[in-house]
Amino acid sequence: MNLRRLKAVYFRNLKSIILDPAPGLNLLIGDNGHGKTNLLDAIAVGAQLKPIRPVKHNSDLILFGERESQIDAEFAGTSPFTVSVHLDLEGKKVRLNNKPTRDPFALREKIAQVSFVPEDLAAVMGSAGLRRRLLDQITASLYPNYALYYRQYEKVLLQRNRLLKQPLVDLVELSSFTQVLAQSAHVIEKARVLALLHIKSYYEDGVSRLSDAQLTGQLTYLPSSAGDLKASLEKLKVEERARKTTLLGPHLDDLEFSLNGHPARFSASRGQARVLILALKIAQLRAVFAHRSLSPLLLLDDVVGELDPDNAFRLLQVVDQLQTQTFITTTHLSALPTDWRAGRVFRVQGGAVSSSIKADEAQALEAHTSHQTFFYTADGCL
Amino acid sequence: MSLDPIQHTIEQFAKLPGIGERTALRLVLHLIAQDKNLIGLLSEALVQLEQKVAECELCHMITADGARCSICRSVSRDSKILCVVARVQDLMALEATSEFRGFYHVLHGVLAPMEGIGPQDLRIASLFERLKQSEISEIILATPSTVEGEATALYLAQELQNHLIKVTRIASGVPVGGDLQFADRLTLSRAMALRRGF
B131 and B87: one domain?
A: yes
Same domain for B80 and B44? no
The average pLDDT across B148-157 equals 96
Q: Report the distance separating Cα B67 and Cα B156, nearest Å.
A: 26
Q: Cβ contacts (< 8 Å) between B189 and chain A: which residues?
A: 145
Check whether residue B97 and residue B172 sit in a common domain. Answer: yes
How far does A182 lie from chain B, in Å, by closest CA? Answer: 11
Do B20 and B111 share a domain, yes or no? no
Q: Does residue B164 have a pLDDT over 50?
A: yes
Q: How far apart are CA A367 and CA A379, in angstroms?
A: 19
The answer as to whether B121 is a domain residue is yes
Q: Is residue B57 part of a domain?
A: no
Counting residues of chain B whose pLDDT is more than 90, the rounded percentage is 72
Supply the pLDDT for residue A362: 62
Any domain includes B10: yes
Q: What is the pLDDT of residues A173-232, one digit of tens each?
A: 999 999 999 999 999 999 999 999 999 999 999 999 999 999 999 999 999 988 899 999
Extract long-range pairs of A231-238: CB within 8 Å, 24+ residues apart.
Answer: A233/A178, A233/A181, A233/A182, A234/A175, A234/A178, A237/A171, A237/A174
In the structure, what pLDDT confidence band is assigned to residue A377 with cuts at 50, 70 and 90? very low
Higher pLDDT, B168 or A372: B168
Question: A140-171, pLDDT tens digit by residue?
Answer: 999 988 988 999 999 999 999 999 999 999 99
Look at residue B62 and tell me if it is in a domain.
no
Which of chain A's residues have a Cβ under 8 Å away from the Cβ of B151?
156, 159, 173, 176-177, 179-180
Nearest to B185 among A148, A175, A179 (CB): A148
The pLDDT of residue A108 = 83
pLDDT at B116: 93
Q: Are residues B171 and B130 in the same domain?
A: yes
Q: Kindly state whether residue B68 falls inside one of the protein's structural domains.
A: no
- Give the pLDDT confidence of A90-106 residue by residue, as tens digits: 889 999 999 998 877 78
**From B11-15, B50-54, B176-180, the region with the lowest mean pLDDT:** B176-180
- Is A156's CB within 8 Å of B147's CB? yes
B80 found inside a domain: yes
Residues on chain B bordering chain A, Cβ-to-Cβ distance under 8 angstroms? 111-114, 118-119, 147-148, 150-152, 154-155, 158-159, 185-186, 189
Q: How far apart are CA A26 and CA A327, in angstroms?
A: 5
DSSP A62: B
Sheet holding B138-141, edge to edge: B103-106, B81-85, B138-141, B166-169
In a domain, B67, yes or no: no
With left for phi above 0 and alpha for psi between -120 and 50, is residue A153 left, alpha or beta?
A: alpha
Q: Which residue from B minimizes the CA distance to A157?
A: B147
At A189, the amino acid letter reads E
Integer angstrom CA distances of residue A238 from A263, A311, B93: 33, 52, 42
Q: Could you tell me the residue range of the domain that residue B125 belongs to?
A: 76-193
CATH number of domain containing B120: 3.40.1360.10
Write the residue in B113, B114, B158 that is nearest to A172 by C-beta. Answer: B158
Question: B63 falls in which pLDDT band (50, 70, 90)?
Answer: very high
Residues B115 and B47 in one domain: no
A1-112+296-382 belongs to which CATH class? Answer: alpha beta
Same domain, B84 and B181: yes
| pLDDT band (50, 70, 90) for residue A335 | low
Contacts of residue A163 in chain B, CB cutoff 8 Å? Answer: 113
**What is the predicted ipTM?**
0.80
Domain boundary among B18, B36, B52: B52
Identify the residue among B111, B147, B187 best suited for mutation to test binding to A, counting A beta carbons within 10 A and taking the highest.
B147
Query: Is residue B34 located within the same domain as residue B130?
Result: no
Cβ neighbour number for residue A332 with a 10 Å cutoff: 18
Query: What's the mean pLDDT in A315-335?
Result: 86
pLDDT in tens, B84-101: 999 999 999 999 999 999
Contact B86, B109 (CB under 8 A): yes
Q: What per-residue confidence (pLDDT) applies to B96?
A: 93
Residue from A155, A176, A187 whose CB has the most chain B CBs within 10 Å, to mutate: A176
User: In this structure, is residue B153 part of a structural domain?
Assistant: yes
Give rounded-to-5 percent helix, strand, coil for chain B.
Answer: 45, 10, 40
One domain for residues B33 and B114:
no
Residues B106, B189 within the same domain: yes
Q: Do B151 and B89 have their domain in common? A: yes
Q: How many domains does chain B have?
A: 2
Portions of chain A given CATH number 1.20.1050.90: 120-293
Q: Which of B37, B130, B120, B51 is nearest to B83 (CA)?
A: B130
The CATH number assigned to the domain holding B38 equals 1.10.8.420
Residues of chain B contacting residue A166, judged by C-beta atoms under 8 Å apart: 113, 118
Q: Which residues pair with A167 in a beta bridge?
A: none
Q: What is the pLDDT of residue A379?
A: 33
Contacts of A159 in chain B (CB under 8 A): 112-114, 147-148, 151
**What does the mean pLDDT of chain B come to?**
91
Q: Where in chain A is the domain with CATH 3.40.50.300?
A: 1-112+296-382
Whole-model pTM: value is: 0.83
**Would you say domain A120-293 falls under CATH 1.20.1050.90?**
yes
* Mean of pLDDT values over A264-274: 90
Residue spans of beta strands (DSSP E) within chain A:
2-11, 14-19, 25-29, 68-76, 81-88, 92-96, 99-101, 113-116, 217-222, 254-259, 262-263, 297-300, 326-330, 344-349, 352-353, 357-358
Is the same domain home to B84 and B39? no
Q: pLDDT-derived band of residue A371, with 50, 70 and 90 as boundaries? A: very low
Tell me the DSSP string of A245-276.
S--SSGGG-EEEEEETTEEHHHH--HHHHHHH
B22-41 as b/e: b if 16+ CB within 10 A: eebbebbeebeeeeeeeeee
Q: Check: CB of residue B40 under 8 Å from CB of residue B31.
A: no
